[in-house]
Amino acid sequence: MNDITIKNLYNLDETIAAQLFDGKEFPWEVLPFIGEFTLQLGASLSAEEYDKVSDNIWIAKSAKIAPTASITGPAIIGKETEVRPGAFIRGNVIVGEGAVVGNSTELKNVVLFNKVQVPHYNYVGDSILGFKAHMGAGSITSNVKADKKLVVVKGEGYQIETGIKKYGAMLGDDTEVGCNSVLNPGTVIGRNSNIYPLSSVRGVIPANSIYKKDGCIVKKF
Protein backbone atom coordinates (compact mmCIF):
# COMPACT_ATOMS: atom_id res chain seq x y z
CA MET A 1 0.00 0.00 0.00
CA ASN A 2 3.00 2.31 0.38
CA ASP A 3 3.21 2.75 -3.40
CA ILE A 4 -0.07 4.70 -3.45
CA THR A 5 0.68 7.28 -0.76
CA ILE A 6 1.38 10.88 -1.69
CA LYS A 7 4.93 10.76 -0.34
CA ASN A 8 5.81 7.73 -2.46
CA LEU A 9 4.10 8.89 -5.65
CA TYR A 10 5.10 12.55 -5.85
CA ASN A 11 7.95 14.97 -5.34
CA LEU A 12 6.03 17.90 -3.89
CA ASP A 13 8.92 20.22 -4.69
CA GLU A 14 7.76 19.91 -8.32
CA THR A 15 4.37 21.59 -7.95
CA ILE A 16 3.11 25.03 -7.04
CA ALA A 17 0.22 23.22 -5.32
CA ALA A 18 2.26 21.45 -2.63
CA GLN A 19 0.15 22.87 0.20
CA LEU A 20 -2.95 21.23 -1.27
CA PHE A 21 -1.56 17.88 -0.13
CA ASP A 22 -0.86 18.92 3.47
CA GLY A 23 -2.39 16.51 5.99
CA LYS A 24 -3.45 14.00 3.32
CA GLU A 25 -2.20 10.43 2.94
CA PHE A 26 -3.61 9.45 -0.44
CA PRO A 27 -3.67 11.74 -3.49
CA TRP A 28 -7.36 11.31 -4.35
CA GLU A 29 -8.21 12.96 -1.02
CA VAL A 30 -7.37 16.35 -2.55
CA LEU A 31 -9.79 16.08 -5.48
CA PRO A 32 -12.76 17.80 -3.75
CA PHE A 33 -10.56 20.76 -2.77
CA ILE A 34 -8.76 21.63 -6.01
CA GLY A 35 -11.16 24.41 -7.01
CA GLU A 36 -11.11 26.25 -3.68
CA PHE A 37 -7.33 25.86 -3.41
CA THR A 38 -6.84 27.22 -6.93
CA LEU A 39 -8.72 30.38 -6.01
CA GLN A 40 -6.64 30.87 -2.87
CA LEU A 41 -3.35 30.18 -4.61
CA GLY A 42 -4.19 32.36 -7.58
CA ALA A 43 -4.92 35.32 -5.35
CA SER A 44 -1.45 34.98 -3.80
CA LEU A 45 0.53 34.86 -7.05
CA SER A 46 2.96 37.64 -7.93
CA ALA A 47 1.63 40.16 -10.44
CA GLU A 48 5.19 40.40 -11.77
CA GLU A 49 5.11 36.74 -12.81
CA TYR A 50 1.42 36.06 -13.50
CA ASP A 51 -1.34 37.89 -15.33
CA LYS A 52 -4.91 37.61 -14.11
CA VAL A 53 -6.48 37.49 -17.55
CA SER A 54 -10.11 37.22 -16.42
CA ASP A 55 -12.12 36.09 -13.43
CA ASN A 56 -10.15 33.41 -11.58
CA ILE A 57 -7.68 32.66 -14.38
CA TRP A 58 -3.99 33.26 -13.77
CA ILE A 59 -1.45 32.69 -16.54
CA ALA A 60 2.30 32.99 -16.15
CA LYS A 61 3.77 35.73 -18.31
CA SER A 62 6.23 33.21 -19.76
CA ALA A 63 3.50 30.71 -20.76
CA LYS A 64 2.47 30.30 -24.41
CA ILE A 65 -1.30 30.10 -24.95
CA ALA A 66 -2.73 29.41 -28.40
CA PRO A 67 -5.48 31.85 -29.42
CA THR A 68 -7.91 28.96 -29.97
CA ALA A 69 -7.41 27.43 -26.52
CA SER A 70 -10.43 27.66 -24.18
CA ILE A 71 -9.74 28.29 -20.49
CA THR A 72 -12.45 28.48 -17.83
CA GLY A 73 -11.55 29.35 -14.23
CA PRO A 74 -10.53 28.72 -11.67
CA ALA A 75 -7.29 27.84 -13.40
CA ILE A 76 -3.57 28.50 -13.04
CA ILE A 77 -1.15 28.00 -15.94
CA GLY A 78 2.47 27.82 -14.83
CA LYS A 79 5.69 29.31 -16.11
CA GLU A 80 7.09 28.22 -19.49
CA THR A 81 4.03 26.04 -20.09
CA GLU A 82 2.55 25.62 -23.57
CA VAL A 83 -1.20 25.36 -24.16
CA ARG A 84 -1.74 24.36 -27.77
CA PRO A 85 -4.58 25.03 -30.25
CA GLY A 86 -7.96 23.61 -29.34
CA ALA A 87 -7.08 22.77 -25.74
CA PHE A 88 -10.13 22.86 -23.44
CA ILE A 89 -9.45 23.69 -19.79
CA ARG A 90 -12.75 23.43 -17.93
CA GLY A 91 -11.90 24.75 -14.48
CA ASN A 92 -10.43 23.58 -11.17
CA VAL A 93 -7.11 23.12 -12.95
CA ILE A 94 -3.52 23.78 -11.87
CA VAL A 95 -0.92 23.26 -14.59
CA GLY A 96 2.70 23.26 -13.46
CA GLU A 97 5.81 24.78 -14.96
CA GLY A 98 7.20 23.59 -18.29
CA ALA A 99 4.14 21.49 -19.03
CA VAL A 100 2.45 20.82 -22.38
CA VAL A 101 -1.33 20.80 -22.80
CA GLY A 102 -1.83 19.67 -26.35
CA ASN A 103 -4.23 20.08 -29.22
CA SER A 104 -7.77 18.98 -28.38
CA THR A 105 -6.73 17.97 -24.86
CA GLU A 106 -9.39 18.48 -22.20
CA LEU A 107 -8.63 19.05 -18.49
CA LYS A 108 -11.10 19.18 -15.60
CA ASN A 109 -10.42 19.17 -11.83
CA VAL A 110 -6.76 18.18 -12.10
CA VAL A 111 -3.31 19.03 -10.86
CA LEU A 112 -0.47 18.63 -13.33
CA PHE A 113 2.96 18.76 -11.72
CA ASN A 114 5.90 20.43 -13.46
CA LYS A 115 6.89 19.15 -16.92
CA VAL A 116 3.80 16.97 -17.37
CA GLN A 117 2.93 16.30 -20.99
CA VAL A 118 -0.62 15.66 -22.19
CA PRO A 119 0.14 16.67 -25.75
CA HIS A 120 -2.38 15.07 -28.13
CA TYR A 121 -6.10 14.32 -27.84
CA ASN A 122 -6.10 13.50 -24.12
CA TYR A 123 -8.95 13.69 -21.62
CA VAL A 124 -7.75 14.12 -18.03
CA GLY A 125 -10.42 14.55 -15.37
CA ASP A 126 -10.38 14.28 -11.57
CA SER A 127 -6.75 13.23 -11.62
CA ILE A 128 -3.27 14.05 -10.32
CA LEU A 129 -0.31 13.74 -12.70
CA GLY A 130 3.16 13.72 -11.16
CA PHE A 131 6.43 15.30 -12.27
CA LYS A 132 7.31 14.47 -15.89
CA ALA A 133 4.31 12.17 -16.30
CA HIS A 134 3.47 11.68 -19.98
CA MET A 135 0.26 10.48 -21.60
CA GLY A 136 0.60 9.28 -25.18
CA ALA A 137 -1.69 10.44 -27.96
CA GLY A 138 -5.33 9.52 -27.40
CA SER A 139 -4.85 8.13 -23.90
CA ILE A 140 -7.54 9.19 -21.43
CA THR A 141 -8.72 8.94 -17.85
CA SER A 142 -12.19 7.48 -17.38
CA ASN A 143 -13.41 9.21 -14.26
CA VAL A 144 -16.88 7.76 -13.56
CA LYS A 145 -17.81 4.10 -13.22
CA ALA A 146 -20.48 2.74 -15.56
CA ASP A 147 -22.68 1.88 -12.56
CA LYS A 148 -22.07 5.37 -11.05
CA LYS A 149 -20.98 3.81 -7.73
CA LEU A 150 -18.26 5.25 -5.51
CA VAL A 151 -14.74 4.36 -6.59
CA VAL A 152 -12.72 1.73 -4.75
CA VAL A 153 -8.93 1.55 -5.16
CA LYS A 154 -7.95 -2.10 -5.47
CA GLY A 155 -4.39 -3.25 -4.90
CA GLU A 156 -2.82 -6.61 -4.15
CA GLY A 157 -4.39 -7.77 -0.91
CA TYR A 158 -6.31 -4.59 -0.10
CA GLN A 159 -9.19 -2.37 -1.13
CA ILE A 160 -9.68 1.26 -0.13
CA GLU A 161 -13.05 3.00 -0.24
CA THR A 162 -12.45 6.51 -1.56
CA GLY A 163 -15.95 7.88 -0.93
CA ILE A 164 -15.62 9.64 -4.30
CA LYS A 165 -17.80 9.20 -7.38
CA LYS A 166 -15.52 11.04 -9.83
CA TYR A 167 -11.96 9.74 -9.80
CA GLY A 168 -9.78 9.37 -12.87
CA ALA A 169 -6.17 8.32 -12.27
CA MET A 170 -3.26 9.08 -9.99
CA LEU A 171 -0.01 9.04 -11.99
CA GLY A 172 3.24 9.02 -10.07
CA ASP A 173 6.35 10.90 -11.14
CA ASP A 174 7.98 9.81 -14.42
CA THR A 175 5.11 7.58 -15.55
CA GLU A 176 4.59 6.83 -19.23
CA VAL A 177 1.14 5.96 -20.59
CA GLY A 178 1.04 4.46 -24.07
CA CYS A 179 -1.10 5.78 -26.91
CA ASN A 180 -4.85 5.15 -26.89
CA SER A 181 -4.87 3.64 -23.41
CA VAL A 182 -7.79 4.01 -21.00
CA LEU A 183 -7.11 4.52 -17.29
CA ASN A 184 -10.28 3.35 -15.57
CA PRO A 185 -11.70 4.87 -12.35
CA GLY A 186 -9.52 4.07 -9.35
CA THR A 187 -6.27 3.64 -11.25
CA VAL A 188 -2.99 4.41 -9.46
CA ILE A 189 0.27 4.12 -11.37
CA GLY A 190 3.43 4.07 -9.28
CA ARG A 191 6.52 6.11 -10.01
CA ASN A 192 8.65 5.32 -13.04
CA SER A 193 6.18 2.82 -14.52
CA ASN A 194 5.16 2.29 -18.14
CA ILE A 195 1.80 1.36 -19.65
CA TYR A 196 1.75 -0.39 -23.02
CA PRO A 197 -0.27 1.27 -25.80
CA LEU A 198 -3.92 0.24 -26.23
CA SER A 199 -4.17 -0.86 -22.60
CA SER A 200 -7.26 -0.81 -20.40
CA VAL A 201 -5.89 -0.28 -16.91
CA ARG A 202 -7.57 -0.49 -13.52
CA GLY A 203 -6.33 -0.84 -9.97
CA VAL A 204 -2.81 -0.27 -8.68
CA ILE A 205 0.27 -0.62 -10.89
CA PRO A 206 3.38 -0.81 -8.67
CA ALA A 207 6.31 1.56 -9.02
CA ASN A 208 9.08 0.65 -11.47
CA SER A 209 6.82 -1.68 -13.44
CA ILE A 210 5.78 -2.31 -17.03
CA TYR A 211 2.08 -2.99 -17.60
CA LYS A 212 1.78 -5.18 -20.71
CA LYS A 213 -1.80 -6.38 -20.30
CA ASP A 214 -4.22 -7.42 -17.56
CA GLY A 215 -2.45 -10.06 -15.46
CA CYS A 216 0.95 -9.33 -16.99
CA ILE A 217 2.94 -6.73 -15.07
CA VAL A 218 6.72 -7.06 -14.93
CA LYS A 219 9.33 -5.20 -12.91
CA LYS A 220 11.85 -3.00 -14.66
CA PHE A 221 15.48 -4.08 -14.42
Which member of 120, 145, 154, 202 is catalytic? 120
Strand partners, 159: 154
Contact 167, 185 (CB under 8 A): yes
**Residue at 193: amino acid letter:** S
Q: In this structure, is the dihedral angle defined by the CA atoms of residues 35, 38, 40 and 42, taken in order, positive or negative?
A: negative
- Residue 137 sits at φ, ψ, to 5 deg, of -55, 130
- Looking only at the bridges linking them, the beta strands covering 152-155 and 169-171 are unpaired
Contact 43, 49 (CB under 8 A): no
∠ Cα 149 153 154 (to 5°): 115
- Residue 14 sits at φ, ψ, to 5 deg, of -105, 30
Contact 146, 188 (CB under 8 A): no
Contact 101, 88 (CB under 8 A): no
**Numbers of helices and strands, H then E, in the chain:** 2, 25
| Active-site residue flag, 134 | no
Per residue, the 3-state secondary structure of 190-201, as one string, reads CCCCEECCCCEE
Query: Looking at the annotation, which residues are catalytic?
Result: 120
